[in-house]
Each structure stands twice: as C-alpha cells, then as structure tokens.
A and B are shown apart, each in its own frame.
Chain A
Amino acid sequence: MRPYWAIVQARFRMLLQYRAAALAGLATQLFFGLVRVMLFDAFYRSSTAPQPMSYSETVTYLWLIQALLLLLPWGLDFEVRNMIRSGTVAYELARPTDLYWLWFSRSLAMRTAPVLLRATPMFVIAALFLGLQPPASPMAALAALAAILGAALLGCAITTLTTISLLWTIAGDGTARLLGTASMIFSGAIIPLPFFPDWAQTALNLLPFRGLMDTPFRLYIGHLPPQEAIPAIAHQLVWTCALILMGRAILGRSLRRLTVQGG
C-alpha cells in the first residue's frame, strides 16, 4: 500500500504547481457556467409545464458541474501514453509494484489535484454571487461528500481502463475519446440527467456514469433524499470494483502479448 500512496502524494504535489492554468480554467468555466444558467433560465421562462427539477435546484446542479468538471475521466495520462509510444513502458514493468495500481494511483492524483485547485474558488464565487444553494440538509451534505469520493474512485477506474487500452491501440486515443464522451453525456455533465426523457432513465440508472456527477449532485440538492444514499453509493462502488476487475483482466492479457517497441 505504501508505495502507491507515495506515488499519489508525489504526483499530487507536482500537479498542484499548475496554479496559473487553474486560474485560467476557472475563468473559462465561470463563463461556461453563466451561459448554461442563462440557457436554462430562458427555458424555464418558456414553459409552465412541471419539470423534473426546480429552477434553483437546476442552477445549483449546473454550478456543481462546473466546480467538479475535472473529476470526469476526460483525456488521458499523456506521460503514460508517451511511455507506451516510445517503449519506455518497459521500465514500468521492471518496477517491483503492481502495474495496475501504479497507474490507478497516478490517475487518482491526476483527477483530484486539479479539482481541488479549482473547486473551492468556483464554489465560493458561485455560492456568493451566482445562485449556488447550500446543501439541502447536513445529512445531504454528508451523503454528497461520500458520493463525491465514490465518484473520484469510479472516475479513476475508468481513466485507468483508458490508459490500459492504449496498450492495444498505439496510435488512436479513440477509446479515451469514446469513454470520455460517454462519461460526459451519461453522467449529467452536458445537461442534468433528470431532464433526459423518462424512457431513458432506466438505462441511465444501469450505466456506471451516473455515479460520476448526477448521484453526488442530486444528493446535495436533496433531489435524491439522504436515505437513498446507501444504494446510490453502493451502485458507485459495485461499478468501480467491476471496472477495476475488468481493467486488471485486460492488463493481464495485454502484458502476455506485449511487444515493446524501440530500444
């Protein structure tokens, strides 16, 4: 356990150095958030039909998306990709650690450090000026926090899976894009999931992606009552375990047929 934790810490400290990039990203995301909020505002003013979420719930959901957007398994670990392209991935194999958990630790740092830099200021600004509401209740806050941790682990499992897929397709970042797009839309990052048609909800419930954003956010606004937190978080964990097992199995198979290029 110790070496993996050390990797997380080291990568984490390194990634925390990119503060200027975080600031620029913050401005961009504030802008995007504003556009989205205005869009929903216009939609709510166009219709009196009952909606799955109230306007203020939606606004809170939208700002939470912007605050935690980088938790999504979007993009991949470019250092590992370059290692695979250049063949230095062989060094990774020589290390006395388990390759899966090594990459998992890397992605854990990669997903959490930028979020920590960005989420707090975003949260404060949105709460003070832009209509982000506080959690529905102390219990809701606790449940949301637990679900965010679950979302981070789930996101890492997906990221690690995309990293492993690079062993199979040297040139294409295709799998990364595909999984990234699926995470984007089916997690609720494009529009809050409750707005999708009712017939789609069953499928959305089965897929793992809901746990990345929708679950913690709806727990936060109380749209999902705290007593439903246990099954919701269990859903995240079951999928995380399944994806880890899948990743390990694929990694095992790829290593048996791995040809290291270059010299």
Chain B
Amino acid sequence: MRNSLKLYLRYLGISIRSQMQYRASFVMLSLGTFLTTAAEYVGVVALFDRFGSLRGWTLAEVALFYGITNIAFALSEAWARGFDTFAGMVKSGEFDRVLLRPRSTALQVAGQELQLMRVGRMAQGLFVLLWSATALNIPWTLGRIALLMAAILGGACLFSGLFVLQATLCFWTIDSIEVANTLTYGGVEAARFPLTIYRDWFRRFFTFGVPFACVTYFPALAILGRQDPLGTSLWFQSLAPLIGFAFLLVALRVWQFGVRHYRSTGS
C-alpha cells in the first residue's frame, strides 16, 4: 500500500513537471477554464436577478451547491483524466504494457496524467463557495466544515467512479462511448442546483441511480440547517457523502471485472 502510494505520487510528480514545461499554455488554459465556468455562473446570477428566488432557495444557498459540485468535478477531472481518455489506450494496445507491470492497473491508469489546467474550474468553484459561505448566515462550526469537506471529497469520488465506469465500458466497446459523458457533464449541470427543483423521476434517478443527491443535496441541507421536504433526518444527511466513496469502490470492483475481459486489439 505504501509502496503504491509512493509510486502514484511519483507519477503525479512526473505529470506536473511535464505540464510545467509549457507554462504559458498552462496559464492560458487554466484561465480559459476559469472564464468558461465563470460565464455559466454569471448566467445563474442573471436569472436570480430576474426571478428573485428559485422555489424558496436564495442565490447564496444555490451558490453552496454550485461550489461543492464544481470543486468536486474539477478534482475528479484532474486526477481521473487517465480514465477519461482510456479509450485511446485500448485502441492503441498501450494497455498491454500496463498489464505487464506488477502493479494495480487502476493505479497506473490514474497515474497517466494529473490535469493541472482543471485548477481553473476549481478556483471558480472556490470563489463561489467562499462567497456563499460569507453571504450565508450560518455559524461555521467544526462539524459543518468537516461535512463540507466530506461532501466535496465524496462528490469527487462519485465523479471519479463515473469516469472509471466509462473507461470500463471501453473493454467491450473499444471506442469511447460519448453517451457516458451525459452522466458526468449532465451530472455537474444538474447537481449545481437543489435537486428538489426538478421533476420527481429526474430527482429519483440522481438519488438512487447515480447518487449525486448524497454528495450535494443532503449534506448541503445539513450545512444550511434546512428542513428536508423529503423528510430525511440530520443523521442521514451527515452520513450521505459516504455513499460517494462507496460508489467509487464499487466502480473499481467493476473495473477489475472488466480488466479480466480485456482482449488486446493487437496493434
């Protein structure tokens, strides 16, 4: 375990150093991601300006959801990039080499690249979150801060789990399935708002199907100290982010199952 961790950190070090060779490019790309995500947020602010509130939620409250989701997604985009581009590895036969090495395949694929430019989305999420934290009138106790961290990390694990599942599909399809992007990018889009504003079938899908509700909606309710119209208890809300970690573990099991079914393209 310690050995694996050391290896992973080493991978990351290499990746960071190689990206830092193109410093200007890195700065421009990060700035670009920052502006793109900021533009989306400007849209949300404009809508709140017109409508006042969103079914009883204020902008500051929605900003909390927004910040958690964007930071979580940025983290997973950065560290699960290898899974996101995994189709290329299968197509080129590169994965054969991974199999030959005496280390976990998931570790090696994850270590392919740590995408630093995602820092742009992360910074934007952080700004929104910090603004929300100061604009909201809630006491930031240690428990609340811990829950916020758990929500972000749980969310990052959930998104990473989706990337892993998407990569696992490549074992059978060879080509990447763009439809899988619907769940990751669509999930970001949907989880940025309290899930109760959507239709019931949609909310159920993102609670029981892909459990985004567990890493944004439920912990955010506990942080805000709001009563849940769905009637969940504070205990459940506080423990919900664990589901995100569990999701990643399950995804990794499915990955191992997929690896056993890998047939090289032979090129």
Contacts and interface: CB of A to CB of B under 8 A. Distances in A.
Contacts of B189: 32, 35
Contacts of A35: 186, 189-190, 198
B233 interface: no
Given A27-B179, A177-B28, A197 B52 contact: no
A44 to B, nearest CB: 8
B138 interface: no
B121 to A, nearest CB: 13
Interface stretch (B41-49, B69-77, B94-102, B161-169): B41-49
B185 interface: yes
Interface stretch (A183-191, A218-226, A248-256): A183-191
B55 interface: yes
A185 B52 contact: no
A195 B47 contact: yes
Q: Give the interface residue-count category, chain A.
A: 35 or more
Interface stretch (B29-37, B127-135, B150-158, B251-259): B29-37
A28 B184 CA distance: 10
A177 B35 CA distance: 9
Interface string A44-88: 111101011000000000000000000000000000000000000
Contacts of B236: none
Given A24-B177, A35-B186, A185-B39, A191 B28 contact: no
Interface in A1-41: 21, 24-25, 27-28, 31-32, 34-35, 38-39
Interface residues of B, number: 38
Contacts of A172: 24-25, 28-29
B91 to A, nearest CB: 15
A173 to B, nearest CB: 7
Interface string B167-209: 0000000000111011001100110010001110010000000
B56 interface: yes
Interface in A173-209: 173-174, 177-178, 180-181, 184-185, 190-191, 195-197
Contacts of B33: 177
Nearest to B57: A46
A46 B179 contact: no
28 contacts: A21-B178, A27-B179, A27-B182, A28-B181, A28-B185, A31-B186, A38-B198, A43-B54, A45-B55, A46-B51, A46-B52, A46-B54, A46-B55, A46-B56, A47-B51, A47-B52, A49-B51, A52-B50, A171-B25, A171-B28, A177-B29, A177-B35, A178-B32, A185-B43, A190-B39, A190-B42, A191-B47, A195-B47
Given A43-B50, A172-B24, A196-B46, 10 more contacts: A24-B179, A28-B185, A42-B197, A43-B54, A52-B50, A172-B28, A181-B32, A190-B39, A190-B42, A195-B46
